[in-house]
Copies of this chain bind each other. A is one copy, B any other.
């Protein structure tokens, strides 16, 4: 058996997987709070429990971590897991378990899972964009996962798309995720609600401060005109970054993942419309498939497990 663990800022979610069928045999979830050594102890326990309760043994463990996860197993930077930075998590866990442990970026891991088991199957060249609080990205090119020299590839959410734009909390001016993340959609809705142009949002959320991306999505589902206008603008921002990435990678498919995928087809078709408007010389290019991710919240843990097992 193999185990993949998605180490997020709040929780660590582990999956026990049969490497032959890729079937999920067991699940476990724990708080990821605390120091590097505390987290290492938690993960060791999770692996032990999953192994024992399913009466099996584990060959390898893969961790997907939000942040700059170095190939060596050390996380260099992670806004959501500040206590983990510079801690040799991979090596510690490997020593504790006596098996190989692989550490990789969570979006990169999720991209590999979609490549092997989800919306990227059968496609050698695709881009994954995960729209949530921020933007995560991952790339498969020529059938291979783009990892980078250190394992840091896929940070396209920080790509500057409007150098004249406002400063983001990261310090960059006008990065893609400022305009096209779930947080951005919430901010756009909030601004319109506060200025009195978006009464439907006020009705749904109660107050302008409580408007978020899901409020806009709910108003859109009700057919509200202002929600439609805001959402079209948002989708165009998503598409702008995707066009940049498509100019770089020439993919045959774009896979949309992340929390916003609960919006379903309106998100997919909205991004597709924006993409067609913005792509340069679209008439000279073969058409591109824009599809939704298929593995949901499991993608990170699944991909980390698969990569630890056979990707190296």
Contacts and interface: CB of A to CB of B under 8 A. Distances in A.
A231 to B, nearest CB: 18
A145 to B, nearest CB: 8
Interface residues of A, dominant DSSP: loop
A85 to B, nearest CB: 8
Contacts of A260: none
Tell me how many chains of this kind the complex includes: 2
A305 to B, nearest CB: 21
A87 interface: no
A122 interface: no
B281 A68 contact: yes
A251 B76 contact: no
Interface string A153-178: 11110111111110000111010000
A228 to B, nearest CB: 22
Contacts of A170: 280
A230 interface: no
Contacts of A148: 125, 141, 249-251
B247 A149 contact: no
A150 B249 CA distance: 10
Contacts of A161: 160-163
Contacts of A240: 160, 163
A150 B76 contact: no
Given A160-B161, A161-B163, A244-B160, A141 B150 contact: no
Given A160-B240, A280-B158, A280-B170, A250 B150 contact: yes
Nearest to A67: B284
14 contacts: A148-B250, A148-B251, A149-B252, A150-B285, A156-B244, A158-B280, A159-B244, A159-B247, A159-B248, A161-B161, A162-B174, A163-B165, A163-B174, A164-B165
Interface of A: 68, 76-77, 85, 124-125, 137, 139, 141-142, 144, 146-156, 158-165, 170-172, 174, 240, 243-245, 247-252, 280-281, 284-286
Given A141-B141, A147-B250, 16 more contacts: A125-B148, A142-B146, A144-B144, A146-B249, A149-B286, A150-B252, A150-B285, A150-B286, A151-B250, A155-B248, A155-B280, A158-B280, A163-B174, A164-B164, A170-B280, A172-B280
